[in-house]
Amino acid sequence: MLEGKFGEGVAEAMRIQVALGEAFNAERMVEVSRTHVAFGVMESDVWFVDMLLKGGASCRVPPTSNPIYDEKYLSKIGQRAVKADSLLLQSAHNAYKKIGINLTYNCTPYLEANVPRFGEITAYSESSATVYVNSVCGAKTNRESANSALAAAITGRVPLYGLLLDKNRKGETLVSVEATLRDDFDYHLLGYSASKKIGFRMPVFTGIPSRPSPEELTSLGAQLNTGGAVSMFHMVGVTPEAPDLETAFGGRSPAETLTVTDADLQKLHQSISRKDGKIDFAMFGCPHYSLNQVRNVARLLEGKRIRKNVELWVLTSVHTRELARRMGYLGIIERAGGHIMADTCPDMPCWYRRYDGKVGITDSPKAAYYTVRRGIDYIVKRMPECIEAALKGGC
Amino acid sequence: MNREQTFKCHKICSGNAEGKTLISEDDICFYLADPKNGKIIEKNHALKGKSVAGRILIFPSGKGSSVVQGDGLYMLKKCETAPRAMIIQHPDTVLVTGAIIMKIPLVDGVEKRFYSEVENGDFVRVDADQGLITLIKKED
């Protein structure tokens, strides 16, 4: 592949893999059976994929893809498209399709479209996906960039290093959770709060009260890799590589022990949220909401009406949106004045254009973290409180 | 008279380059550099206001999410304000991938004594393929 026998595009993808192997002293390459590429609509993303296409590359292991945004939906409700945005979006769409990326446009592929089995070697590049795949599925992936994950999809190979090796998958820091965890919002706060304290060490969580749901584990993982750079965690009695404390730590004792209390979560919550007040919109689905989460929103909105001049968005995968339609949740949410939008991430140009200088409310610290740089300010609260605020126009 | 010293290093991305050094004690996110002139614009950064353009850049490690770091290097390269080569201590996936794509020579694992010898503005030749760095000091 490196010598160009399969074309210049494959050779370039292989050069990336070889350089990563050099950087991390990998002994050899191994085959991957699943990939996920977190491309957005940056000019550099499209340029890179086009370059590989010109070199004749295509994906041997078709990846799923991260959300971008559904311009058609926005134009249907009257948002005029910016021409430069549209052109870039169209060229991204075409390039990704042509190289063989499955256009799932969803950031939780590990829940529905691309679910790895235990021990499988993979290359996932979305920050929340990397954590979930390693920790909850027990499959193996390094913290890939979108470009390196695409190189893996094209070559079908990755260098063997890091989290692909069992010896590097052992816990280092014991995180004793004393905080009360009621719903996925508390897991968001736990992940964000813990990641600040953990640094680069691999955490082992104990004291988790009940069997956490997939949504709670998704929230935890997303925040661990937003507030910090944690690519894997263990949860004793919950995640597959942590049946007990000893196994989680590989027989060693913890390098460090941390405690997370209710006070920690409250303090963090205050630090990431704008003060209560009037809102212009409510945003849910970072990471993308599951059908269960959509149902919970629909229940709270049934027979009610969102305040005039407030918009409400639930971001999901195209699968979830279709199921929500079939189950009647879409109708309930739309009758209340809200939207369910597929394929879309809150950190996209369409939102900066719509909400520059405005105030939103969200249940996701991750959404608030990434968009604050772009002139959107968020109040961060539990989902039912966000719904309440959308009905009243503020909190 | 010039004094030449050579140091061993470990190749990550191949290529040769030479030029003046720019040394950063802080990790670098290239998204926080202005593509027009290569100047670092990150608040409180060791290199704030200095330009990486055409330099042999010496720094500990890359930082920042894959999307922004990749786009940062891309914009610098497009505007011809990218560094000529990078000498780092701790590689990460995003920086390595970016360097390969943008064809910027990248090495790590340089002999320790290099860091006590090298100063900002020294002339350096990086030969990644041979795993060699040549430091050329002007002597009065």
User: Tens digits of per-residue pLDDT, A3-27?
Assistant: 999 999 999 999 999 999 999 999 9
Beta-carbon pairs below 8 A across chains A and B: 70
What's the mean pLDDT when you consider all of chain A? 94
Asked whether the ipTM of the predicted complex exceeds the cut of 0.90, the reply is no
The CA-based angle B128-B132-B133, given to 5 degrees, is 100
Chain A residues with beta carbon closer than 8 angstroms to that of B71 = 42-45
Nearest-neighbour CA in chain A from B35: distance (Å): 13
Told to judge if B61 belongs to the known catalytic residues of this protein, a careful annotator would answer no
* Residue B112 pLDDT exceeds 70: yes
- Domain ranges in chain B are 2-138
Q: How many CB atoms neighbour CB A83 within 10 A?
A: 8
Alpha-carbon distance of B94 to B101, in angstroms, equals 11
Judge: B75–A44 Cβ closer than 8 Å, yes or no.
Answer: yes
pLDDT of residue A196: 81
pLDDT of residue A347: 87
Helix residue ranges per DSSP H, A228-374: 245-248, 262-272, 291-301, 318-327, 329-335, 349-355, 365-371
For domain A273-392, the question of CATH label 3.40.720.10 is answered with: no
Question: Which of B12, B97, B106, B129 would you mutate first to test chain A, the one with the most A CBs within 10 A?
Answer: B97
Name the residue in chain B with its Cα closest to that of A145: B66
Phi/psi-derived region of residue B38, left when phi > 0, alpha when psi is between -120 and 50, beta in every other case: left
Q: In this predicted model, what pLDDT tens digit does every residue of B124-140 receive, in sequence order?
A: 999 999 999 999 998 76
Nearest-neighbour CA in chain A from B67: distance (Å): 7
**CA A44 to mean position of chain CA atoms:** 21
- Enumerate chain B positions whose Cβ falls within 8 A of a Cβ in A: 10-13, 65-67, 69-71, 74-75, 91, 93-94, 96-101, 106, 108
Judge: A19–B106 Cβ closer than 8 Å, yes or no.
Answer: yes
pLDDT mean over A131-151: 96
Lowest average pLDDT, out of A45-54, A132-141, A223-232, B84-93, goes to A223-232
Residue A39 makes CB contacts below 8 A (sequence gap 6+) with A45, A49, A65, A66, A68, A92, A96, A101, A146, A150
Kindly list the distances between the CA atom of residue A46 and the CA atoms of A73, A82, A88, A247, B35, in Å, as whole numbers in the listed order: 22, 18, 8, 44, 18
What's the mean pLDDT when you consider all of chain B? 93
Alpha-carbon distance of A216 to A224, in angstroms, equals 12
* Residue B122 pLDDT exceeds 80: yes
pLDDT of residue B66: 67
Chain B residues with beta carbon closer than 8 angstroms to that of A42 = 67, 70-71
Using pLDDT thresholds of 50, 70 and 90, give the confidence band for residue A128: confident
pLDDT of residue B140: 62
Nearest-neighbour CA in chain B from A325: distance (Å): 33
Judge: B97–A148 Cβ closer than 8 Å, yes or no.
Answer: yes
* Residue A372 pLDDT exceeds 80: no
* Topology at the third CATH level for domain A8-157: Aconitase; domain 3 (3.30.499)
Q: Which of B61, B65, B66, B116 is catalytic?
A: B65
Closest Cβ opposite residue A144 in set B10, B71, B93: B93
pLDDT mean over A307-315: 97
Judge: A23–B96 Cβ closer than 8 Å, yes or no.
Answer: yes
Q: Do domains A8-157 and A273-392 have the same CATH topology?
A: yes
Q: In this predicted model, what pLDDT tens digit does every residue of A193-246 receive, in sequence order?
A: 998 888 778 999 999 987 899 999 999 999 888 777 789 999 999 999 999 999
With an 8 Å Cβ cutoff, is A15 touching chain B? yes
Residue A249 makes CB contacts below 8 A (sequence gap 6+) with A170, A171, A172, A174, A204
Amino acid at A71: E
Alpha-carbon distance of A242 to A179, in angstroms, equals 21
Per cent of chain A over pLDDT 90 is 87
Using pLDDT thresholds of 50, 70 and 90, give the confidence band for residue A373: low
Per cent of chain B over pLDDT 70 is 97
Q: How many CB atoms neighbour CB A287 within 10 A?
A: 27
Judge: A24–B91 Cβ closer than 8 Å, yes or no.
Answer: yes
Nearest-neighbour CA in chain A from B98: distance (Å): 8
Helix residue ranges per DSSP H, chain B: 66-78, 93-101, 112-117
Chain B residues with beta carbon closer than 8 angstroms to that of A148 = 93-94, 96-97
Burial A87-101 (b: 16+ CB within 10 A, else e): ebbebbbebbeebbb
Tell me which residue of A313, A103, A349, A131 sits closest to A224, measured CA to CA.
A131
For domain B2-138, the question of CATH label 3.40.50.2020 is answered with: no
- Domain ranges in chain A are 8-157, 170-270, 273-392
Q: In this predicted model, what pLDDT tens digit does every residue of A319-364 receive, in sequence order?
A: 999 999 999 999 999 999 999 999 999 989 899 899 999 999 999 9
The token pair at B56 is 């042999």
Nearest-neighbour CA in chain A from B93: distance (Å): 6
Chain B residues with beta carbon closer than 8 angstroms to that of A226 = none
With an 8 Å Cβ cutoff, is A13 touching chain B? no
Chain A residues with beta carbon closer than 8 angstroms to that of B11 = 22
Kindly list the distances between the CA atom of residue B6 and the CA atoms of A119, B17, B54, B114, in Å, as whole numbers in the listed order: 45, 15, 21, 9
Q: What pTM was computed for the model? A: 0.92
pLDDT of residue A366: 86
